[in-house]
Structure formats: C-alpha cells, structure tokens
Structure 1
C-alpha cells in the first residue's frame, strides 16, 4: 500500500519545523551554510537539505550545530523555547566573549541602570 505524503510537498512537518529553526539560528549568528557544513564535515547541500526539511538530522549533528549556533539542543527540537527574550540572549552571548574585567564593568553599569530604574519608579 503506498504511503500518503505528509506535510508540505510530502515533507514531514516536524522535519520542516526543525529545518526552519536550524536556518533561523544559523542566520542569527551570521554563519553561512558553507561554514556550517565545514563544521559538520558534510557537503553544503546537506545543510541546505536539513534546513528545507528534506534530510534527517542526527542527534550528534544537532548537538554539534547547537554548539555552533549557541542554542540549547532542546530549542531545535521544540521541547522548550528560549527562557529569556531574544535580545537578552544576544546580549548574553556577546558578553560571554568579553574579558573578565569588561564583564565586571558591564555588571556595574547594569546595576547602575537597575538602581536608576528603581529610583524613577519611586518618584
């Protein structure tokens, strides 16, 4: 008995959702398909097929891409959404690349902003 295609153009809807998340994360961190392919040691077309939902993505590939794209693996599988707003996630990723001294300065500035915000609310 022939199998009935699922989803758009016969693609599995879960594979399509995963592919969209992979593409979104890759583009957000500014990595090309070629760079992602080199990281996984696959052809660039394999990344294109993953992002289109046409190729399965193994657990080790998801883990490797999650590290490259700076996202938890559960975000790709849809198990959880990022626990913080995207702009805060961006700031955290950016701050993690600063020196310890610069992070301390940024923490002081954040504390200043927080105290200023509290003072404005109390007026």
Structure 2
C-alpha cells in the first residue's frame, strides 16, 4: 500500500534544524518578523522552517547563521542535542558553585552563544578570504 500524496511524514532532520533555529532565535529575543526583515526570508517561511515543514536552502541557512552569529555547522550537526559551547565552562565549576541552578543555566547558555558566535565570525572571515581568518582573539 502506497502512502497518499497528502501524507508527509515529518523529516527528523528538518525538525531538528527547525528546533535549533527557533531555540537560538528565542534566546536572542528576535521575532520572526525581525528575522524576515533582516534576512529577506518571508516571515511565513521562517515559521514553516522552525516547524520543520519547509526545507532551507544553503543561502537561507547562511543568512540565518550570520544573523544569529552561529556557525552553519551547529545547525547541521547530527547529534540531537548538539551543544556548540559544551566545553566552554569546563573546569569552572568552582566559580559557578555559588549560583542558583537557573543562574548556572543562563551562564551556560550565554557562554555557548559566545563560543558559537566566535566560530561564526571565523567561518565568515574565512569565507570572505580575510587574511589571518580565525586567528583573531
């Protein structure tokens, strides 16, 4: 028995990509309209992408990654719980000991964002052919 043309099983890769894009957009407190205005991607398409209902072409993903200051590779990582800054705070647990669980989570999210932003800057500089790309602090 063949599935009907209207039955579209949800692609787990599209769902994972959409969830990552939505998570970082929410973290940065950006509206879908703001993303649309700054990337040229229609707001309805941003919504469909975040729900995993629309594919993202490579140029759109590059625009989104630049806006979100994240490396494209983070959004394409196959691990369901990919974490670009997983080791950013390794060895810093003493400094975090006096913080609440919520504060620690906020610090980790911010550190992850900073780490990913730096990777995106290096990726962008390399793509632009800048001398010494990736070597700046």
> TM over 0.5: same fold?
yes
Tell me: CA distance 1:36–1:3, structure 2 relative to 1, closer, same or farther (3 Å): same
Is the Cα–Cα contact under 8 Å of residues 70 and 113 in structure 2 kept in the other structure? no
Question: Unaligned 5+ residue runs, structure 1?
Answer: 94-123
Partner of 1:82: 84
* Between structures 1 and 2, the one with greater helix share: 1
Question: Unaligned 5+ residue runs, structure 2?
Answer: 89-107, 118-137
1:53-68 paired onto structure 2 within 5 Å: 53-68=52-67
RMSD value over aligned CA atoms? 2.5
Partner of 2:2: 2
Partner of 2:12: 13
Segments of 4+ moved more than 4 angstroms: 90-93
Partner of 2:124: none
Is the Cα–Cα contact under 8 Å of residues 45 and 54 in structure 2 kept in the other structure? yes
Point out the structure with max Rg over C-alpha. Answer: 1
Is the Cα–Cα contact under 8 Å of residues 10 and 52 in structure 2 kept in the other structure? yes
What TM-score does the superposition give when structure 1 sets the normalisation length?
A: 0.62
